[in-house]
Structure 1
Amino acid sequence: MKKLSFLMLVAVMVVVLAACGGNNGNNVANNGGTEATNQPTEAAQTDAPKKDVTIKIFQFKVEIAEALNQMAAEYEKETGVKVDVETHGGGEDYSALLKAELAAGEEPEIFNSSGWAGFDPYVDRATDLSNEAWAKDLVEASKAQISRDGKLLGMPMNLEAYGFTYNKDLFAKAGITELPKTLDELDAAAKKLQDAGITPFALTNEWWSMGIHTLNIALANQADPAAFIEEVKAGTKTLKDDPTMKQWVRLVDIMFANGQKNALTTDYNTQVAEFAAGKYAMIQHGNWIQGMIDEVTPGMNLGMMPVPLLDAPNVFTGVPNNWIVNSKSANAEEAKAFLNWMVTSETGKKYIATDFKFVPALSSIEPNPEAIGSIGGDFALFAKANPTQVKSWNWDRFPDGVTQQWGAAMQEYLGKQISADELLSKLDKAVQDIVKK
């Protein structure tokens, strides 16, 4: 992929995130107060971190676990500060494990949190990072989701996008020459793949994949997702009676009817590994799986297909998570120093752009088009040509606990234990159960 295409990806994400963040009531005045400081962006820490100190990172992103450990070792070599990385993700409920960690009196120096309502449980622990040297370089629209009362309370991890990642070679083998733009066309494409002996979808039993990314397809297709979600939380609208949700159920039915037979026992790592081995034509994940795929089959001929639903197919982009410095930990200042090193040192920036394969959330980090791979490159081309078909991420506008219950209901539906009407009723009940607490 050419560098220009990747830069278009970054530019489009910036534009889309700005659009998503500018028209709802959740935005924070002054975008978290992250005006430029007089500190130099590229400067390393002016004061050397203390020696014989260990900072703990409690993080969820399994895709970067190995590289993050390597980066931590590099930091210890340079500074003498040990960084202990503990990763919980994939099939684990990171949010529940983090809350258990904190309830047990363990206070990691750095942990991950989503933004908007998903960040609410951790506001009291979050250190103000507004005046850090890197804060002025953040993509503008990445700030509001992690800001409160004019303060930037976390470092956005990166930018991501998803749709249906698909195997172009398997589509060609099945004689599919044009990507489906409607649910009818998606159904027909799945039949062509089946007729060619190819399983169309790689499915997973993971609650977060179904309860977050799958549900967001319906939420993002609302005329005003933020307003719609507020009405659902208030009980003035229901998911069960929403016409977009009814179309979404048909999309889910097409996916579930055309996936592998053992989907209920397929975890995330297995799902991605088997897709990377060429067993399936489509998978509902985005550019974050590029590194995992490259480990199995380097140079795989992949693309990002927009997801059909209503009038036009869409892809979805946002900030997946944030680094939070825990103010209640023993070494919060050393944690801030580590994050500063990660995004300002040449070593740290190389890990972010190349080893993590991230689309950086800071303008001061040069993206690496070779690392991001074909999935992100395909997104860049589509988003440049169809900016109105790039939609937002919205699940974090619901309180913590809602998406977990959604995922459980989706698992029941995947297992054919409940009907479509029962599924939608359970989705509504999950919202009201959590909101009323």
Structure 2
Amino acid sequence: MPHAVRSSFSRRRFLGVVSVAGLGTAVLTSCGDSDDGGSTDSQGRTVVEWWHIRTTEPGKTLWPQQAKAYEKAHPDTRIKLVPLENDAFKAKMTALVGTGKLPDMYNTWGGGVLKQQVDAGLTEDITDQVKDWIGDLVPASRVPYEFDGRIYAVPEEIGAVGFWYNKAHFKEAGIASPPATWAAFLDAVKKLKDAGITPIALAGKEKWPGMYYWAYLAIRIAGVDGMQKAADAKDFTGDEFVKAGEHLKELVDLDPFQKGFLGAAYPGPTGQGATMGNAKAAMELMGQWAPNVQSSEGKGLGDDLGFFPFPAVEGGKGKSTDVFGGGGGYALRKGAPKEALEFLKWFVGPENNRVIVKDGGMIPVNTKALDALTDPNLKAVSDLLNSTTAFQLYLDQAYPPAVGQEVNDSVAALIAGSKSPADVARSITQVAKSQ
């Protein structure tokens, strides 16, 4: 499974607190030896222990290659890679947080989980150390890792959610161009149905793909600032969030999804990705990994595949250039050896980022590596990210895990017809206030 696929639906499985029962004591003693540097190996090299989640290709091969390349250029440093599958990583990190000892350098999605580690005094504040080069990184990619003007991690990937569409289906339905407004989007759905084409593929079983619709509608109506205010107040019962649900219900009432969507997963031969990739639906709202999944789970659309941003909502405070997305980054434990930061700087530097973009199929996080991106679909996502006016992190990363889970559950219930728009807003607020 390509990493891009993992960073979508596998990433979603870290919702909630993962049980750590049965973890061996080795898990709890494998990190940095002290808070004043780190450990050394038998050759006297400083050891940087690096926990990452690139357990599938191309990262499974590419990440060790990068470590070896760095060691060759820096013979006094050893990069000790600890690759962990997404869920195993979260479980072990949960255990380590309780011990107060984290790896020298570790994967983070930013947002609420990283903020908890920061508040516990476990994560290094690297603001001053990165000030000379952090400006080279795509501004949107840095947002999840900055709190109160301080920087606690560095991005290594970035992406955004938008609509992937089948150009041939749009042409057959008489849709001249991608819709720019919600009203035009609903009209496009009707035209596709009239042409006998399923408008949208949706993995209703997994809930998070449906959440994207509510989240984007809320962003378009309330604006990113409004999202933050609601999160701070722990109150999502305002008109903007009820209207987001009402607009989503407008879409649901058009019966736009494939037959059996409520039981459909994202991966698999009958999943959302395959439905789109086999040209059995005209659109899907998904992140930058979508083309890979469409090709791996289905046939892929080739030149018929296009991308457009989530439409604007008339009268809303948000703009069509406000982006909903996320990525991954790396943080350092408190007291990590200076060699860890030196490696991190090299890893996200322009030359290495070009290698990752070309060989790993990722969107550049370093603005000096943008020329390495040649895939037209990924370039469309990259262009959106580089022109964004505001950035909203995935809600299950931005909010406490229980709140993110409730957003997923409540929106899924709305799509299934068992909750009203007002019910969704109340349920999310109730859980938020309990945190």
What's the TM-score, normalizing by structure 1? 0.70
Residue 230 of structure 1 deviates from its aligned partner by: 1.9
Q: Of 34, 37, 49, which residue of structure 2 is paired with 1:55?
A: 49
Show the counterpart of 2:208: 208
Q: Partner amino acid for 2:115?
A: D
Residue 168 of structure 1 deviates from its aligned partner by: 0.8
| Cα deviation digits, residues 63-85 of structure 1 (max 9, x gap) | xx412221222134432634232
Q: Partner amino acid for 1:320?
A: G
1:143–1:422 Cα change, 3 Å: closer
Larger RCO (CA within 8 A; separation ≥ 6)? 1
Q: How does 1:338-353 map to 2 (within 5 A)?
A: 338-344=343-349, 346=351, 348-353=352-357
Residue 217 of structure 1 deviates from its aligned partner by: 1.1
Q: Does structure 2 retain, via aligned residues, the 8 Å contact 1:163–1:314?
A: no
| Cα deviation digits, residues 11-63 of structure 1 (max 9, x gap) | xxxxxxxxxxxxxxxxxxxxxxxxxxxxxxxxxxxxxx97695734243x88x
Q: Of 260, 265, 277, which residue of structure 1 is paired with 2:263?
A: 265
1:51–1:301 Cα change, 3 Å: farther
Q: How does 1:10-29 map to 2 (within 5 A)?
A: none
Residue 202 of structure 1 deviates from its aligned partner by: 1.3
Show the counterpart of 2:170: 171
Residue 334 of structure 1 deviates from its aligned partner by: 5.4
Show the counterpart of 2:152: 153
Show the counterpart of 2:75: none
| Cα deviation digits, residues 157-176 of structure 1 (max 9, x gap) | 33423321111112112332
Which secondary structure does the structure 2 equivalent of 1:120 belong to? helix
Residue 201 of structure 1 deviates from its aligned partner by: 1.0
What is the alpha-carbon distance in structure 1 between the residues aligned to residue 173 and residue 309 of structure 2? 19
Show the counterpart of 1:42: none
Show the counterpart of 1:111: 106
Q: How does 1:405-424 map to 2 (within 5 A)?
A: 405-424=406-425
Q: Does structure 2 retain, via aligned residues, the 8 Å contact 1:161–1:317?
A: yes
Q: Does structure 1 retain, via aligned residues, the 8 Å contact 2:113–2:400?
A: yes
Which secondary structure does the structure 1 equivalent of 2:157 belong to? coil
What is the alpha-carbon distance in structure 2 between the residues aligned to residue 420 and residue 318 of structure 1? 21
Q: Partner amino acid for 1:129?
A: I
Which secondary structure does the structure 2 equivalent of 1:323 belong to? strand
| Cα deviation digits, residues 91-143 of structure 1 (max 9, x gap) | x6986774356448884444333445453112132223332474342335654
Q: Partner amino acid for 2:57?
A: E
Q: Does structure 2 retain, via aligned residues, the 8 Å contact 1:232–1:239?
A: no
Q: How does 1:176-325 map to 2 (within 5 A)?
A: 176-204=175-203, 205-211=205-211, 213-222=212-221, 224-227=223-226, 229-231=228-230, 233-234=232-233, 238-239=237-238, 242=241, 244-253=243-252, 257-270=255-268, 271-293=272-294, 295=296, 296-297=299-300, 299-308=302-311, 310-311=313-314, 314=320, 316-317=322-323, 320-325=326-331
Q: Which runs of 5+ in 1 are unaligned?
A: 1-48
Which secondary structure does the structure 2 equivalent of 1:269 belong to? coil
What is the alpha-carbon distance in structure 2 between the residues aligned to residue 333 and residue 378 of structure 1? 34
Which secondary structure does the structure 2 equivalent of 1:75 belong to? helix
Q: Does structure 2 retain, via aligned residues, the 8 Å contact 1:180–1:308?
A: yes
Show the counterpart of 1:139: 138
Show the counterpart of 2:363: 359
What is the alpha-carbon distance in structure 2 between the residues aligned to residue 237 and residue 77 of structure 1? 48
Q: Does structure 1 retain, via aligned residues, the 8 Å contact 2:410–2:428?
A: yes
| Cα deviation digits, residues 164-196 of structure 1 (max 9, x gap) | 111111211233223334444433422332343
1:273–1:206 Cα change, 3 Å: same
What's the TM-score, normalizing by structure 2? 0.70
% identical equivalent positions: 22
Q: How does 1:369-408 map to 2 (within 5 A)?
A: 369-371=373-375, 373-374=376-377, 376-377=379-380, 380=383, 392-393=391-392, 395=395, 398-408=399-409
Residue 309 of structure 1 deviates from its aligned partner by: 5.5
1:101–1:269 Cα change, 3 Å: farther
Q: Does structure 1 retain, via aligned residues, the 8 Å contact 2:50–2:79?
A: no
Deviates more, 1:94-103 or 1:226-235: 94-103
Residue 155 of structure 1 deviates from its aligned partner by: 0.4
Q: Does structure 1 retain, via aligned residues, the 8 Å contact 2:51–2:81?
A: yes
RMSD: 3.9
| Cα deviation digits, residues 376-413 of structure 1 (max 9, x gap) | 43784x899xx79x653153554443111111222333
1:276–1:361 Cα change, 3 Å: same
